[in-house]
Amino acid sequence: MKICIIFGGISTEHEVSIASGTSVIRNLDKKKYEILPIYIDKEGQWYKYTKPIDKIENLSMGEKPKELEKIKNIVDILKDSDVIFPVLHGIGGEDGSIQGLFKLINKPYIGCGILASSVGMDKIYTKIMFEKANLNQAKYEYIKKVGKDYIYIDKNFNEEKSTLEEICRRIEENIEYPMFIKPSNSGSSVGINKAKKIEELKKYIEYASEFDKKILIEQGIIGKEVECAVLGNDDVIASCVGEIIPADEFYSFDAKYKKSNSRTLIPAQIPNEISEEIRKTAIKAFKTIDGRGLSRVDFFIENGTNKIYINEINTLPGFTQISMYPKLFEAVGITYEKLLDKLIELSIN
């Protein structure tokens, strides 16, 4: 079976995707699969990898592959493979756009389809869907920046033009500090900040608007941060629950990729009933966005109340050997290699 592994990509998660892609290549059973590595550079140019596969397997985290050949016609190459695995994170790879290309050429591919990918990538639309499914989540406000104007959007999608000052007052009436300010389309914590007072709220809204015109403001939840992996199409299974212990005040970009003292704890040290509730909710969240194949669903457990809050769903989670997604399944007996076999089988089904 010929499997096309696409990695790199135009998003801020380019380097992480190289690490994920090379891990996947390293762990695929070479007796079962012929591997066709495809690299997308940061400018969006596609390349074929021409040299023996073992060279690519030894790239270090984020190291760009060499021995590349520019691709003139990607469609012909994709058509020639049996299955495609877009090991791409963020915009252009996790948001439904590349999935649209695979669908048009009628090729099986690993992971969520167009709808689930784009809903999962957009934090505001994820919230709207989770609300519909009655999943407990942090209170939020939705605003837009269009040109120099700020627009407040109410729960019925009515828009009201306003000043930044007025918008912040209105947000303060509905949610308490600390608040998290996020560009609706982002990943790896890029553009995300925590505000403890109005001056910061204003500053971080302006900052978030540099990444996306849609901005989400959320009530900060004080507690543990935990994650659960799901796998399947119609019959979906959940892994155990893992905990993140960030090396920063929150799980910021630096805490994720620069500070080596961010830690994970698998399984999370939480009561069994809470872990079961999280696993059930993870599957429900996956079904709510019409997920397929795989996702990692992230939660908070509030200090004091032990109440669970869903945070987000990642339809193409980090896939390096030390990433949470494969590690959570490894902890319940599904090795990285078996996980890949299963994902390929699910994509063909």
> How many of the other CB atoms lie within 10 Å of CB of 18?
24
Tell me if 311 contacts ligand ADP by CB under 6 A. yes
Nearest to 135 by CA among 242, 301, 314, 282: 282
| Distance in Å, CB of 311 to ligand ADP, minimum | 5
Tell me if 299 contacts ligand ADP by CB under 6 A. no
Tell me if 192 contacts ligand ADP by CB under 6 A. yes
Interface residue with ligand ADP, options 125, 207, 250, 257 (CB under 6 A): 250
Interface residue with ligand ADP, options 138, 208, 215, 340 (CB under 6 A): 138
Interface residue with ligand ADP, options 251, 286, 319, 325 (CB under 6 A): 251
- CA 8/CA 26 separation, integer angstroms: 16
| Distance in Å, CB of 176 to ligand ADP, minimum | 11
Closer to ligand ADP at the Cβ: 6 or 16? Answer: 16
Window 215-234: residues binding ligand ADP (CB under 6 A): 218-221, 225
| Distance in Å, CB of 314 to ligand ADP, minimum | 7
Tell me if 347 contacts ligand ADP by CB under 6 A. no
Inter-residue long-range contacts of 102-109, CB under 8 Å, 24+ positions, other chains counted:
102/78, 105/75, 105/78, 105/79, 107/78, 107/79, 107/81, 107/83, 108/82, 108/83, 108/84, 108/347, 108/348, 109/83, 109/84, 109/85, 109/347
Count the alpha carbons within 13 Å of 152 in the hemisphere toward its beta carbon: 16
Tell me if 23 contacts ligand ADP by CB under 6 A. no
Q: Is 330 helix (H, G, I), strand (E, B) or coil?
A: helix
Whether the CB-CB separation of 281 and 299 falls below 8 Å is answered with yes
- CA 256/CA 113 separation, integer angstroms: 27
- CA 246/CA 264 separation, integer angstroms: 8
Q: Residue 222 has what DSSP assignment?
A: -
Instruction: Compute φ and ψ for 111, nearest 5 degrees.
Output: 100, -175
Tell me if 336 contacts ligand ADP by CB under 6 A. no
Tell me if 108 contacts ligand ADP by CB under 6 A. no
Tell me if 22 contacts ligand ADP by CB under 6 A. no
| Distance in Å, CB of 149 to ligand ADP, minimum | 26
Closer to ligand ADP at the Cβ: 213 or 342? Answer: 213
* Cα maximum dimension of the chain: 63
Tell me if 180 contacts ligand ADP by CB under 6 A. yes
Closer to ligand ADP at the Cβ: 82 or 200? Answer: 200
List of residues contacting ligand ADP (CB under 6 A): 138, 180, 182, 186-189, 192, 218-221, 225, 246, 250-251, 298, 300, 311-312
